[in-house]
Structure 1
Amino acid sequence: MSFRPKHLGHVNIYVRNAERSKQWYEDVLGLHCYHYRPGWAAFLSADKDKSHEVALMQVGDDAHGPMKGQVGLNHMAWMLESLDDLKEAYYRLKDRHIPIDVVADHGISLGIYFRDPDGNGVEVSYELPREQWPRQDSVFASDMVGRGCFPGPWDAEVKSRVNPVPAPAE
């Protein structure tokens, strides 16, 4: 028997203000807050059967944000059920005037990348069911990206790059 994780349980990120970030994640992503402790942390989840998928830990208003070229978390990806759900998320970002860094066609998925109020990278994404993948390995090879399988309101913004997310500003 060998060790193999079941799944990623949660991501724990630092934010300047847990209350502000909690409200943002609830409003923008529709996450459910299972516990909020003012001045310290918020625990939120998209899947209500999970205690939390993201923990927001408050570090204070003077804390430095993510910096270009820094080792650390690039982004967290929230998977959506359908392409229609991704379209709804796109319009939600636009309605809230949240700048989109890039919309990337990965071949088997489409991701919309943006940042939370502290500059942490966030992605909302739709991925084809595995049985619809054109092949089962090397799925992010250059001949796989930019296949145009995901038409939508983002068409003018789509980039076909394997690693589309720009580093956060310093």
Structure 2
Amino acid sequence: MNTNLLPQETRIGRTALRTNDLEELVEFYRDVVGLSVLRRSDAGSVLGVGDTPLLVLEGGETTPERRGSDAGLFHNAFRVPSRAALGDALARIREHWRLDGASDHDVSEALYLADPDGNGVEIYRDYPRSDWPRDDDGRVRMGTSPLDLEPLEAAAAGASRLPAKTDVGHVHLEVSSLETFRDFYVDTAGFEIQTEAPNALFVSAGGYHHHIGANTWNRRSEPAGGRGLSWFEVILPETEALDAIRERTADGRYTVAETDAGIAVTGPDEIEVRFRV
């Protein structure tokens, strides 16, 4: 039994992507996904909802493409608060881009697409937590079946931007080893396993269906590099939880750096995770 569990209020914060075409990615996440541009410069841009930053885009003209063997991002998942907001997202995707898939996961309904750099994007809404199926041990049970898009179309309200209360619900990674993923995110960081699937693992805090997913479906074998995921944040509700993670990562297995707000840990596959209160 894991005695180092994260507090229930733990959540995902910002995610950051590296790109060599900053303008193209800004336009995609603004016009298709529906984020607002909060800050902008030649070096990078910050997008979010209201005044809450959710996505950092780091520009660099010489950033190489991510290789097919590189670990990194499978998708960033933006969670919306209503079916109307998901319907509006569907309308924007159909008008400006292309929809790659749509699934009912028994805990959520989700739309899938990819940005111009090939980074996966999920836009989803949760069903009420009381309706989530669970196993006898209390773990959330997720499935995958085709999503009926007609109710989304009917619920759409015509909004061009994501509404307030939208956040990054989870981050899904492509990793080289589920064993090393488990060692860091579960045994060290303190997430709980919720669902195990063929060559995939989904972990969370507080009984959520998943804050972080990981898979080895595409046989990634090298550390993360090139365009794509630069880092992502885990937001903690209390300094005691941050201090505990700082202590558990002090054994030298992972590179740890102090930041203004907390710590940045270079975990498995050289994916940087920033922990802050």
Name the TM tier (shorter chain).
0.7 to 0.9
Return the TM-score normalized by structure 2: 0.47
What 5-or-longer segments of structure 2 have no aligned partner?
153-196, 201-214, 219-277
- Partners of 2:65 and 2:94 lie apart in 1 by 24
Alignment pair present for 1:44 and 2:41: no
Letter in 2 for 1:45: G
Letter in 2 for 1:23: E
- Partners of 2:87 and 2:28 lie apart in 1 by 19
> Per-residue deviation at 1:3?
7.5
> Per-residue deviation at 1:68?
3.6
Which residue is 1:159 aligned to?
none
Q: Which of these residues, 14, 18, 23, is aligned with residue 22 of structure 2?
A: 18
Would the aligned equivalents of 2:16 and 2:55 in 1 still touch at CA under 8 Å? Answer: yes
- Partners of 1:74 and 1:99 lie apart in 2 by 18
Corresponding residue SS for 1:65: coil
Larger radius of gyration: 2
How big is each residue's C-alpha offset from its partner over 1:108-138, in whole Å with a ceiling of 9 and x where there is no partner? Answer: 1121111111111111111102022233523
Aligned-residue CA RMSD (Å):
3.0
> Per-residue deviation at 1:85?
2.0
Distance change (3 Å), C-alpha of 1:3 and 1:49: farther
Percent of residue pairs identical:
25
Corresponding residue SS for 1:53: strand
Would the aligned equivalents of 1:103 and 1:154 in 2 still touch at CA under 8 Å? Answer: no
Higher RCO by CA contacts (8 Å cutoff, separation 6 or greater) = 2
| Runs of 4+ residues deviating >6 angstroms | none
Corresponding residue SS for 2:11: coil
> Per-residue deviation at 1:151?
3.0
Corresponding residue SS for 1:117: coil
Aligned counterparts, 1:157-168, within 5 A: none
How big is each residue's C-alpha offset from its partner over 1:23-73, in whole Å with a ceiling of 9 and x where there is no partner? Answer: 2211112212221112x1001112x242x211000122x543344443001
Which residue is 1:88 aligned to?
88
How big is each residue's C-alpha offset from its partner over 1:66-96, in whole Å with a ceiling of 9 and x where there is no partner? Answer: 4444300111001112223212211211111
Corresponding residue SS for 1:119: coil
Alignment pair present for 1:134 and 2:137: no
Aligned residue pairs, count: 150
Which residue is 1:123 aligned to?
122
Which residue is 1:151 aligned to?
148
Distance change (3 Å), C-alpha of 1:65 and 1:104: farther
Return the TM-score normalized by structure 1: 0.73
Deviates more, 1:79-88 or 1:109-118: 79-88
Letter in 1 for 2:81: E
> Per-residue deviation at 1:154?
8.9
Would the aligned equivalents of 1:65 and 1:119 in 2 still touch at CA under 8 Å? Answer: no
Deviates more, 1:28-37 or 1:66-75: 66-75
Q: Which has the higher strand share?
A: 2
Which residue is 2:6 aligned to?
4
Distance change (3 Å), C-alpha of 1:34 and 1:21: same
Would the aligned equivalents of 2:14 and 2:56 in 1 still touch at CA under 8 Å? Answer: yes
Would the aligned equivalents of 2:31 and 2:92 in 1 still touch at CA under 8 Å? Answer: no
Distance change (3 Å), C-alpha of 1:27 and 1:123: same
